Chains A and B, each alone.
Chain A
């Protein structure tokens, strides 16, 4: 099965945008984990995760979001989520992630949120 999961990085000013594609499960979650760790290693803590092309997520993928958010906010940044399909968004909502993360429609909306709400208490 070629390319079950890919992370493509772009930047909007000092905001890193990680575009996810494919399925995020226990097998592919480490690739996502490495992508976020690379941002933190480079002292980039303003991160947008674009899930427009994310077709599936399990709790292993959600665990990556959970594992980094405190560290990201301690560094003065935040992780904002955008573009989720209804199917994927439903999983985030089952676990109450909307109370912890900024979840918006698009990458421009997410980048703008760093102006109006740079960080957020977990």
Chain B
């Protein structure tokens, strides 16, 4: 069965002040795609985490760079790509440390990927040397 696929894209300067706008965009896309309120909230948070990682780690708070969020959905799935211009740091390769150990070590970062994996059905990362890096998030749409 084929179904109509739609793609919506938002590009913003790489700065945390735009995270609220990104969440608003993603929430609207999630609703259009047919996600329920609970899944829309999960999507908002997962994309926020992905973009915050890009802004902080991949771009080092350089607002001259851009973050692009591309959302593609059909009746079965919603796929989000977060595209950055950074050096290519694969967050999915970072080992998972227990939260208790992180507290003991006074580490405040590294939670974002854990949140993304908890909330989305699939998380993957693609590094395109000299071009772009893409974090892909997939959410299946419950009928």
- A residues sitting closer than 8 Å to B (CB atoms) are 1, 4, 23, 25-27, 56, 58-60, 62-64, 66-67, 69-71, 87, 91, 94-97, 99-100, 122
Contact = CB atoms under 8 A, between A and B. Distances in A.
B128 interface: no
Contact of A26 (B41, B55, B100, B114): B55
Interface string B93-123: 0000011101110111101101100110000
Chain B interface secondary structure, helix, strand, loop or mixed? Answer: helix
Nearest to B48: A58
A66 B119 CA distance: 21
A58 B116 CA distance: 11
Contacts, number: 77
Given A23-B20, A25-B52, A122 B106 contact: no
Chain A interface secondary structure, helix, strand, loop or mixed? Answer: helix
Given A25-B20, A94-B118, A100-B100, A58 B45 contact: yes
